[in-house]
Amino acid sequence: MKITDSNVIRFHLQVLYGISVKNFAKKKGKLVYTGAKMFGVPLENLPRRYIPEFGLVPCFLVDGCSLLLDRVGTVGLFRKPGSLPRVKILREKLNRGDDALSTASPYDTATLVKQFCRELPELLFPSELHAALLKAQALPDLQDKMAALQLLSCLLPAKNSSCLQYLFDFLHKVSQRCSDNLMTSSNLATVFVPCLLPPPNKTEMSEERLELRVLVLRTFIEFPHVFGVIPKTIMDSMKYFVNFAHLEDVFKKRNQKICSLKVKQSEKTVLWIQSKLKIRPAVSDQTLVCITRGDPKLRRSVGLETFPNIRLFRTCMPNEDQSFRSANKTSVLTAMERLQHKNWRRRSSPI
């Protein structure tokens, strides 16, 4: 497995929370739009503005949310729909590149923001992530739930993550004025479910599943500061995995060098043995038999075959010992006989 941020995050989600996330499907072809069209256009084809805290965010979303913050106390913001005829005219003007938001009502602007998110060719939350988000929200422990949702938000593509971070930060500011606009985090999450986490079929439209979708968005609205932020523990584990992979590569290279060195050494050894076999001195058959007969093989020393055979040497010693002993015995007997003869002569001689 290649060591990347997303793979390490998937690993932690699977091991710690039992949540498996499929890789996002790669689109075969991307639609390229030209002109000033704003709605139904992929994020990469939209004019975007760099916001230091969030990254590249579509200009329309920045302008619309900025204008709504000035009127954040409007009652029923995002819940009360705008005028359909006025919204249609605003869309046409925006698609032509006209600046029409400055004079629009807050309800019309809020309706356009929802339409913008809902009509994107690719959902801001990819469909491959929906089941994992609902499973994380269903975890019984609150701390595990928050941690799993935070990790899942880190798997989003950069363009999606920047847009959602900006949007949730804006909705969090709207919910803080709920005493004026009556739009709590739960109400805002309910309104934005069709735009961000739409149910794909009738089965997912059950009350329980819809409630999970609302709770996912509510969590991100109430805690926008954790969205897309990789925890420190995961960052530390990434360094460990990267270092481990680096060490693994080092050991692989080291083993390859050792193997190649062993091959070279074995080749040199074979050549050396072949050269020694050519110049090895001749050894008698008897000596060869004595060397190979039941002798333990301790090590292959250089020139071992040229050393004298101790066992053969010892088998030749008994005859020499016997002759040496017989010669000594004869000499001793002769000396004793001479001594006895000398004593006898002394006794027999007259005094």
How do residues 150-205 score in pLDDT, each as one tens digit? Answer: 999 999 999 999 999 999 999 999 999 999 999 999 999 999 999 999 998 887 88
Choice between 257 and 282, residue whose per-residue pLDDT is larger: 257
Report if pTM > 0.75. Answer: no
Integer CA distances (angstroms), 186 to 182, 204, 222, in order: 11, 19, 9
**So what's the pLDDT on residue 76?**
95
**Per mean pLDDT, which range of 107-111, 138-142, 264-268 is the poorest?**
264-268
Nearest in space to 69 (alpha carbons), one of 171, 191, 164: 171
Choice between 300 and 128, residue whose per-residue pLDDT is larger: 128
pLDDT at 84 over 70: yes
Choice between 223 and 204, residue whose per-residue pLDDT is larger: 223
**So what's the pLDDT on residue 340?**
58
Choice between 6 and 237, residue whose per-residue pLDDT is larger: 6
pLDDT at 313 over 50: no
Share of the chain above pLDDT 90, in %: 51
Residue 99 falls in which region: left (phi positive, over 0), alpha (psi -120 to 50) or beta? beta
If you average pLDDT over each of 38-47, 183-192, 341-350, which comes out highest?
183-192
Name the band, by pLDDT with cuts 50, 70 and 90, for residue 140.
very high
Integer CA distances (angstroms), 173 to 104, 122, 168, in order: 21, 26, 9
Average pLDDT over residues 206-218: 94
Q: ∠338-340-341 over CA atoms, to 5°?
A: 65
pLDDT at 108 over 50: yes
Name the band, by pLDDT with cuts 50, 70 and 90, for residue 311.
very low
Phi, psi dihedrals of residue 203, rounded to the nearest 5°: -65, -40
Structure confidence by residue, pLDDT tens digits, 54-67: 999 999 999 999 99
CA distance 6 to 8: 6
- Cβ atoms of 134 and 211 closer than 8 Å: no
Structure confidence by residue, pLDDT tens digits, 242-270: 665 554 554 455 556 555 555 555 555 54
**So what's the pLDDT on residue 237?**
73
Show me where the domains of the chain are located.
33-133+158-222
| Superfamily of 33-133+158-222 according to CATH | Rho GTPase activation protein (1.10.555.10)
Residues 6+ apart with CB under 8 A from 72: 173, 174, 177, 180, 181
- For residue 22, the tally of other CB atoms under 10 A from its CB is 12
Which DSSP string do the residues of 84-127 spell out, in sequence order? HHHHHHHHHHHHTT---STTS-HHHHHHHHHHHHHT-SS-SS-G
User: For the chain, first and last CA: distance in Å?
Assistant: 123
Q: What average pLDDT does the structure give for the chain?
A: 77
**So what's the pLDDT on residue 31?**
52
Choice between 109 and 273, residue whose per-residue pLDDT is larger: 109
Choice between 294 and 252, residue whose per-residue pLDDT is larger: 252
Q: ∠97-102-103 over CA atoms, to 5°?
A: 110
**So what's the pLDDT on residue 242?**
61
pLDDT at 333 over 70: no
